């Protein structure tokens, strides 16, 4: 695996990371913050792969070392991206649950107001009945 293949792989990995980040965000699988972070990392990887000054170190890697480096880097990126997606899903579910709790609290307040109004009506009817009974 020569230096140009390593550079090409790093650049391709950066582009792939940016595209997958945008797709995951468009499908609501990852939040905006994580999308920005992964796109920035994709840009950095793309620049490392494309600009020879940034990827000069790849000439010093042996063939096996370059392959091992690429595999470990790909596995690391995949797992971290997967972790970001899981955290994003939890954040989105938490927001949804908070909205449900707010709606339930609002409904609970409306029910309590209605119950208070009805109890006052029943209390007034009970007082009127007692006054009517005392008059007889």
Assign 3-class secondary structure to 39-66. Answer: HHHHHHHHHHHHCCCCCHHHHHCCHHHH
| Dist CA 12 CA 46 (whole Å) | 7
At 1, the pLDDT band (50, 70, 90 cuts) reads low
**What are 59-73's pLDDT values in tens digits?**
787 777 878 888 898
At 26, the pLDDT band (50, 70, 90 cuts) reads very high
Give percent of the chain with pLDDT exceeding 70: 93
- Segments making up each domain of the chain, as ranges: 3-135
Strands (E), the chain: none
Q: Which DSSP letter does residue 27 get?
A: T
Comparing CA positions, the residue from 5, 3, 6, 4 lying closest to residue 73 is 6
Could you tell me the two tokens for 15? 């582009």
pTM (two decimals): 0.73
Q: So what's the pLDDT on residue 5?
A: 84
């Amino acid at each position: 695996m020569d230096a140009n293949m390593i550079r090409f792989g790093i650049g391709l990995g950066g582009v792939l990371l940016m595209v997958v980040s945008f797709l995951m965000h468009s499908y609501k699988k990852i939040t905006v913050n994580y999308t920005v972070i992964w796109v920035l990392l994709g840009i950095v990887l793309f620049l490392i792969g494309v600009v020879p000054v940034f990827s000069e170190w790849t000439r010093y890697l042996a063939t096996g070392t370059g392959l091992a480096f690429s595999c470990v880097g790909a596995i690391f990126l995949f797992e971290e991206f997967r972790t970001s997606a899981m955290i994003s899903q939890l954040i989105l579910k938490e927001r949804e649950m908070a909205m449900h709790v707010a709606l339930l609290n609002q409904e609970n307040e409306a029910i309590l107001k209605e119950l208070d109004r009805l109890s006052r009506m029943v209390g007034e009817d009970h007082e009127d009945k007692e006054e009517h009974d005392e008059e007889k």
